[in-house]
Amino acid sequence: MERLWAPWRLEYVKDAAERKEEVCVFCGAVSADMAEEDSLVVHRGPHTITMLNKYPYNNGHLMVAPLRHLAELSALSTEESHEIFRLITHSVKILKKVFNPDGFNIGINLGRSAGAGIVGHLHWHVVPRWNGDTNFMPVLADVKVIPEHLSQTLSTLRPHFEKIE
């Protein structure tokens, strides 16, 4: 069984229990107060937002969330559900084209005990994976090498989200 190994995130997870969310990262990213270049948003639809993860497992790690601040799947409207799935599908298509990964981890963590770092706002992770993307760095040095700065990944991906198919 292959595992998604990300020990560098342990500090983030440990701090999450003590951290109080002053502003939800998803709600903050679409607020008028957030500069577009700081938001990590690659696409904003009528009902959803797609953005880079600030603490990525791998290069190109995206998150898709409803615009509404919802914590429960049952609270999603039909329109939100459809748009989320469409954007997850589009994200995979774009990440394949741009980064040529060997596979993907796609999922949602519901509740803190399930690993949700942002408990109050539903979001799906789309994580590109490459054969051998876990190497000696995280194992020996507790460090993950992300080969590209988030701002470069953002500018690379944004044009591909201008037209959603």
DSSP for 11-36 reads HHHHHHTT---SS-HHHHHTSTTS-H
Query: Residue 42 is encoded by which pair of tokens?
Result: 């690659």
Whether residue 98 contacts residue 157, with contact meaning beta carbons closer than 8 Å, is answered with: yes
The catalytically annotated residue of 47, 90, 123, 125 is 123
Please tell me the distance from the alpha carbon of residue 22 to that of residue 93, in angstroms, as a whole number.
34
Q: Judge whether 123 counts as a catalytic residue.
A: yes
Residues with a known catalytic role = 123
